[in-house]
Structure 1
Amino acid sequence: MKTATKRHWVLISLHCFLVGSLVDSSSPSSRLLSVTSRVGNRAVLPCSWKQRLQSTPSTCHVQWATPADTVFEMNGEDRWEAEEFQGRVEVSEEKLWSGNCSLIISDVQFEDSGRYESFMVVDGGTATKTTKTKIFIQSVKLSVFDHKSLQSRGPGEDLVLDLYTRHSVRVVFQDRNSSAWSVLWSREDEDGERLQRHPVNEQLTMRKLKSSDEGIYKVLDQHGLAVSTVQLSVEESSIALKRQQLLEKQTATGLPADAVKSSCSALLLFSALITSFQTVHLL
């Protein structure tokens, strides 16, 4: 009898725990939000303190932190940023008073990936003693990805490589017939006859493409990670244009690369058949 009673109470306790967990996870502020960004872009980590505070605080004191350290803190005109985020993080002071405490990260880097938590620091304590209380607002997971593209150009045309971020330091190249990588450009390099860096934008232009320029281009950051990967095909202008249109369609529809290559091959075969038919007809 005692064993049955004990088992009954265990089941009740387990039920209460599960119900409490479901109620807690249903709260908007308790859910872990997910945000994705491409390296070099801007990411917005959402936050709304009105869901957690019952009244408007006398001062809007917001803090963002990772599990390891504080990232950003703002209390009126006083602001603080972690060294690795210097000049790249902000919370809109104008929107903060209306409840929006979202953190804006500019020029996102791979090492920015991870979990962030936001807090509002409010006055607490008693009438004779004032203390500061930190109230948890929101958890956000940031994931950062690289850029990938397939491009096609005709001989003599230019290729514009986006560097995406000031932290891109090198471009390497792999010829279509080789497995070796060679350094094509470094940030300290001066402009050459064919490679020129844009004076303002993070872009690198390769002039007057040749068939030997066909291959894979990787833009690397200071840690050797690929900011972007570009697979380039150099073909006759009319074919290159049609191929580029197919590649853009692949990017938009998510078709596999093999399907695009088959479409390009079919297009070339069809063009050859039409040319042969016209030649026979003229004879």
Structure 2
Amino acid sequence: MSNNVYLIKLVSIGSSPLSVVVHTLSRVGLPAVLPCSVASHLDHRPHIQWQTISDSVFERMGQEQFQGEAYRDRADVPEELLVRGNCSLFLQDVRFSDAGIYESYLVVGESSIKNRILIQSVHLAVIDHKDIKSVQTGAELILDLHTHQAEQVIFQNSNETDWTVLWEKDAVINKKDYLEKRDNKLILSNVTARSAGTYKVLDSEGLALSTVKATVTVELLILCLMKAQSKLHFLS
């Protein structure tokens, strides 16, 4: 535990009647909770393991813990919940690569040969964010990057087929628009009619973390034109 290596033979001896697969869903970048419960009276320091088919995710026995490499600083089974029988896995900043089947085990035994009892199987699905925004000309368009996984924002004008790189992490690519990154959001100031279109936030693999369809309204401009035309008509 605590990332130390233990030479322990683990033998799976059976499954809990609760081990039917539970399905849960999270949007990328948000926290996710994979449910699990174990009889709290079995041990005041239950030894719990979470794993996927290919990776160790998290392991806890009392204050000792181990996090898998892909889940470093993102996975936890809080000790204060575990002693009350709640062995749920808490994942932070969920990634697309986190999707799949997770299994929780209760590890029992006092010798070098320990047995594992399957407690729960959980299927985690991870989906992207989708949004529709409408702003007026001259206003701000706020794009939520959602997560530090965001590497790039691309834009497709409503009347065009090509995509333009609007923003990249640590660099402003398109200087025609005023861009500002603030609190994990991208702010486009003084939008125009040409700001209408589709915005995609991409991760390092080019996968869309979010898609935003933006429309730009020009009611104020139309109102001014109508008033001007009305005034000209009155004067004539």
Using structure 2 for the length normalisation, give the TM-score: 0.81
Separation in 2, partners of 1:237, 1:173: 24
Asked if 1:142 is matched to 2:124, the reply is yes
Partner of 1:98: 84
Which of residues 120, 129, 132 is equivalent to 2:106? 120
Asked if 1:46 is matched to 2:28, the reply is no
SS in 1 for 2:171: coil
Separation in 1, partners of 2:139, 2:64: 51
CA apart distance, 1:58: 4.8
Separation in 1, partners of 2:95, 2:142: 22
Q: Tell me the amino acid that sits aligned with residue 30 of structure 1.
A: S
Using structure 1 for the length normalisation, give the TM-score: 0.68
Q: Tell me the amino acid that sits aligned with residue 163 of structure 1.
A: L
Asked if 1:163 is matched to 2:145, the reply is yes
Pair 49,148 (structure 1): closer, same or farther in 2 beyond 3 Å: same
Which deviations, in whole Å up to 9, do the C-alpha atoms of 1:144-190 show, x marking residues without a partner? 00011111110001011000110110000001111110100000215
Which of residues 3, 11, 18 is equivalent to 1:29? 18
Asked if 1:232 is matched to 2:214, the reply is yes
Q: Tell me the amino acid that sits aligned with residue 34 of structure 1.
A: H
Q: Tell me the amino acid that sits aligned with residue 93 of structure 2.
A: D
Partner of 2:53: 67
SS in 2 for 1:95: helix
SS in 2 for 1:111: helix
Partner of 1:177: 159
**For the Cα contact (< 8 Å) 2:139–2:191, is it kept in 1?**
yes
Q: Rg bigger for which structure?
A: 1
Partner of 1:56: 42
5+ residue gaps, structure 1: 1-24, 240-271, 273-283
Q: Which has the higher helix share?
A: 1
Partner of 1:214: 196
Partner of 1:194: 178
**For the Cα contact (< 8 Å) 2:141–2:189, is it kept in 1?**
yes
**For the Cα contact (< 8 Å) 1:176–1:214, is it kept in 2?**
yes
Structure with larger RCO (C-alpha < 8 A, sep 6+)? 2
CA apart distance, 1:123: 2.0
Separation in 2, partners of 1:216, 1:115: 33
5+ residue gaps, structure 2: 1-14, 227-236
Which deviations, in whole Å up to 9, do the C-alpha atoms of 1:68-107 show, x marking residues without a partner? 1211111222211111111111111101011000000010
Partner of 2:114: 132
Partner of 1:244: none
**For the Cα contact (< 8 Å) 1:59–1:122, is it kept in 2?**
no
Pair 218,130 (structure 1): closer, same or farther in 2 beyond 3 Å: closer
% of aligned pairs identical?
A: 41
